[in-house]
């Protein structure tokens, strides 16, 4: 009885404290990946990235490419303005700020903090760009890393060691499209010292919702240029491409004048395994995609979707499926992998890197999934998860108490009458 009274007091105390604690999960104002906002009459516009959040005079920007343009328009204001602009997902070691004539720039692992002062009725324009002198660079591609923490950490370590211009995941990074899952993933990659770009996969947008993905990584499809190369990221993680995206893609390819063009998406337009159905859910979309790639001379297409590695050239377009980022492999002859692409002018060379990883026991895999699920639940629905946890603990404690009493409570001795 005392045991149950203690639990009741703990439950009531926790409920009283819970509304206060839940405030810790609130963040600064999110913009949903917008590239333009107004703060007290001053327009802040970003190209090559998006505004993650802002609070008072702090503005956080996440890069979605390699070069970023920042335009702070204070021309309609009668007051001077000061902002702390935090630009993340970059390589601060080689990034210079063109047009900068302000104070000292603070640098972190993958961030730069710019103390910007804009006079009244003035416009400040800056461009963040890597200091490189030629058209030679390299980037890394992989996919399907969810649930494979040991392999994924090896890939992250290789990214920091090889120092590519950027690294990109072709999707299936998180266990599910919850906000908590995305926050956990971002925490895992916060030590990356180069731009880390993403493609929405089945586990990110497969349930039809893109809100959480957009809050963390911005728009689900976009493009950017670097040197003599054009990069396109597409959104087909749920097995389809909208008509709006098809129109955007063709216009984008039509206007493209780059020497090299690379496309990244989650699902390939074909399944190289014999006898398998197409991965795209809407009939004809795979052929429509391939036709656009061929018509506009796309150099290479990088996808995942299948937990293995395949390479195939179709009508002048090279397709790579790199799905060995850590998830359970598709077959016994599959292997963990990532690709390094080296660009030297109009010459492109890709290198397949095979990885080995110790086998994961069923217990370790289950423990990891449970850990991720519980953590994501508390981050996404803290109040609901806390209440469910307390009720579950209460039920378990009563069960074990009854079990203990049944097993160890001494039985009453019966006296024998003579």
Looking at the structure, tell me whether residues 124 and 150 fall in a common domain.
Answer: no
Please, are residues 37 and 30 in contact by the beta-carbon 8 Å criterion?
no
Q: What is the pLDDT of residue 206?
A: 81
Q: Residue 345 contacts by C-beta under 8 Å, 6 or more apart in sequence?
A: 135, 136, 228, 259
Last residue of a domain, one of 327, 355, 383: 355
Look at 366 and 91; give whichever has higher pLDDT. Answer: 91
Question: Could you give the 3-state DSSP secondary structure of residue 341?
Answer: strand
Q: What is the pLDDT of residue 358?
A: 57
What percent of the chain clears pLDDT 90, i.e. is strictly above it?
67
DSSP for 196-259 reads EEE---HHHHTTS--HHHHHHH--SSEEEEETTEEEEE---TTS---HHHHHHHHHHHHH---S
Looking at the structure, tell me whether residues 146 and 42 fall in a common domain.
Answer: no
Looking at the structure, tell me whether residues 109 and 160 fall in a common domain.
Answer: no
Q: What is the pLDDT of residue 134?
A: 84
Tens digit of pLDDT for each residue in 25-52? 333 444 446 789 999 899 999 999 999 9
Q: Is the dihedral of CA 236, 237, 239, 242 positive or negative?
A: negative
> Using 50, 70 and 90 to split pLDDT, how confident is the model at 418?
very low
Looking at the structure, tell me whether residues 125 and 141 fall in a common domain.
Answer: no
Tens digit of pLDDT for each residue in 202-243? 999 987 789 999 989 999 999 999 999 999 999 999 999 999
Evaluate whether residue 17 is within a structural domain. Answer: no
Evaluate whether residue 291 is within a structural domain. Answer: yes
223 to 49, 208, 232: CA distances (angstroms): 11, 22, 4
Query: Smallest Cα–Cα separation from 170: which of 310, 238, 264?
Result: 264
SS (H, E, C) the chain: CHHHHHHHHHHHHHHHHHHHHHHHHCCCEEEEEECEEEECCEEEEEECEEEEEEECCEEEEEECCCCEEEEEECCCCCCCEEEEEEEECCCCCCEEEECCCCCCCEECCCEEEEEEEECCCCEEEEEEEECCCCCEEEEEEECCCCCCHHHHHHHHHHHHHHCCCEEEECCCCCCCCCHHHHHHHHHHCCCCCCCEEECCCHHHHCCCCCHHHHHHHCCCCEEEEECCEEEEECCCCCCCCCHHHHHHHHHHHHHCCCCEEEEECCCCCCCCCCCCCCCCCCCCHHHHHHHHHHHCCCCEEEECCCCCEEEEEECCEEEEEECCCCCCCCCCCCCEEEEEEEEECCEEEEEEEEECCCCCCHHHHHHHHHHHHHHHHHHHCHHHHHHHHHHHHHHHHHHHHHHHHHHHCCCCCCCCCC
Looking at the structure, tell me whether residues 72 and 157 fall in a common domain.
Answer: no
> Using 50, 70 and 90 to split pLDDT, how confident is the model at 383?
confident
Phi-psi domain of 89 (left: phi exceeds 0; alpha: psi -120 through 50; beta: other): left
Range of 51's domain? Answer: 29-130
Q: What is the pLDDT of residue 17?
A: 41
Tens digit of pLDDT for each residue in 330-353? 998 999 999 999 999 999 999 999
Last residue of a domain, one of 355, 378, 405: 355
Asked whether residue 408 carries a pLDDT value surpassing 90, the answer given is no
Evaluate whether residue 374 is within a structural domain. Answer: no
Looking at the structure, tell me whether residues 125 and 146 fall in a common domain.
Answer: no
Evaluate whether residue 262 is within a structural domain. Answer: yes
Asked whether residue 315 carries a pLDDT value surpassing 80, the answer given is yes
Burial of 43 (0-12, 13-18, 19+ CB in 10 A): middle
Q: Which two tokens stand for residue 386?
A: 């806390």
Please, are residues 51 and 64 in contact by the beta-carbon 8 Å criterion?
no
Evaluate whether residue 301 is within a structural domain. Answer: yes
Looking at the structure, tell me whether residues 69 and 202 fall in a common domain.
Answer: no
Please, are residues 48 and 67 in contact by the beta-carbon 8 Å criterion?
yes
Asked whether residue 250 carries a pLDDT value surpassing 90, the answer given is yes
CATH number assigned to the domain comprising residue 52: 2.60.40
Q: Which two tokens stand for residue 409?
A: 């409570």
Give the integer Cα–Cα distance in Å for 104 and 112.
10
Evaluate whether residue 10 is within a structural domain. Answer: no
DSSP 280: S
Looking at the structure, tell me whether residues 164 and 150 fall in a common domain.
Answer: yes
Looking at the structure, tell me whether residues 149 and 122 fall in a common domain.
Answer: no
Average pLDDT rounded to a whole number, residues 300-312: 97
CATH number assigned to the domain comprising residue 156: 3.60.21.10
Looking at the structure, tell me whether residues 163 and 293 fall in a common domain.
Answer: yes
- Mean pLDDT, the chain, as a whole number? 86
Evaluate whether residue 12 is within a structural domain. Answer: no
Evaluate whether residue 102 is within a structural domain. Answer: yes
Average pLDDT rounded to a whole number, residues 406-418: 58
Last residue of a domain, one of 95, 114, 130: 130
Q: Which two tokens stand for residue 105?
A: 């720039």
Tens digit of pLDDT for each residue in 78-126? 999 999 999 999 999 999 999 998 889 999 999 999 999 999 999 999 9
Average pLDDT rounded to a whole number, residues 361-381: 55
Overall number of domains in the chain: 2
Looking at the structure, tell me whether residues 99 and 216 fall in a common domain.
Answer: no
- Rg (Cα) of the chain, in Å, rounded? 26
Looking at the structure, tell me whether residues 140 and 237 fall in a common domain.
Answer: yes
Q: Is the dihedral of CA 60, 63, 66, 71 positive or negative?
A: negative
> Using 50, 70 and 90 to split pLDDT, how confident is the model at 411?
low
Asked whether residue 256 carries a pLDDT value surpassing 80, the answer given is yes
Which H or E run contains 125?
Answer: strand 123-130
Q: What is the pLDDT of residue 394?
A: 83
Q: Residue 343 contacts by C-beta under 8 Å, 6 or more apart in sequence?
A: 135, 136, 137, 138, 139, 227, 229, 260
């Amino acid at each position: 009885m005392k045991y149950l009274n203690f639990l009741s007091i703990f439950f009531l105390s926790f409920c009283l404290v819970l509304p206060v604690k839940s405030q810790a999960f609130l963040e600064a104002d999110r913009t949903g990946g917008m590239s333009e906002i107004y703060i007290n009459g001053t327009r802040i516009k970003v190209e090559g990235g998006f505004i993650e959040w802002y609070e008072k005079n702090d503005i956080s920007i996440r890069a979605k490419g390699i070069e970023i343009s920042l335009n702070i328009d204070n021309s309609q204001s009668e007051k001077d303005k000061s902002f702390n602009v935090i630009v993340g997902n970059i390589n601060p070691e080689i990034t210079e700020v063109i047009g900068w004539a302000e104070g000292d720039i603070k640098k972190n692992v993958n961030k730069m903090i710019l103390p910007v002062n804009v006079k009244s009725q003035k416009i400040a324009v800056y461009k963040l760009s890597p200091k490189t002198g030629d058209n030679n660079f390299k980037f890394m591609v992989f996919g399907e890393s969810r649930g494979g923490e040991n392999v994924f950490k090896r890939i992250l370590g290789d990214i920091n060691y090889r120092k590519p211009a950027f690294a990109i995941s072709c999707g299936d990074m998180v266990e599910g499209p919850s906000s908590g899952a995305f926050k956990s993933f971002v925490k895992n990659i916060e030590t990356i010292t180069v731009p880390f770009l993403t493609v929405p996969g089945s586990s990110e947008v497969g349930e039809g919702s893109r809100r959480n993905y957009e809050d963390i990584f911005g728009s689900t499809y976009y493009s950017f240029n670097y040197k003599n190369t054009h990069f396109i990221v597409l959104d087909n993680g749920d097995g389809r491409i909208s008509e709006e995206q098809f129109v955007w893609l063709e216009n984008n390819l039509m206007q493209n004048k780059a020497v090299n063009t690379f496309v990244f998406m989650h699902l390939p337009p074909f399944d190289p395994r014999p006898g398998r159905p197409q991965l795209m859910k809407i009939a004809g979309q795979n052929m429509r995609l391939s036709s656009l790639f061929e018509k506009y001379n796309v150099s290479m297409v990088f996808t995942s979707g299948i937990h293995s590695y395949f390479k195939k050239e179709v009508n002048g377009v090279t397709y790579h499926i790199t799905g060995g980022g850590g998830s359970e492999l598709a077959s016994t002859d599959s292997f963990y992998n990532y690709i390094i692409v080296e660009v030297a002018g109009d010459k492109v060379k890709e290198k397949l890197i095979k990885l080995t990883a110790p086998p994961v026991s069923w217990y370790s895999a289950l423990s990891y999934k449970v850990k991720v699920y519980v953590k994501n639940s508390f981050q996404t629905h803290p109040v609901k998860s806390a209440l469910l946890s307390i009720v579950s603990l209460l039920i378990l404690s009563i069960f074990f108490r009854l079990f203990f009493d049944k097993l160890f409570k001494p039985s009453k001795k019966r006296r024998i009458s003579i």
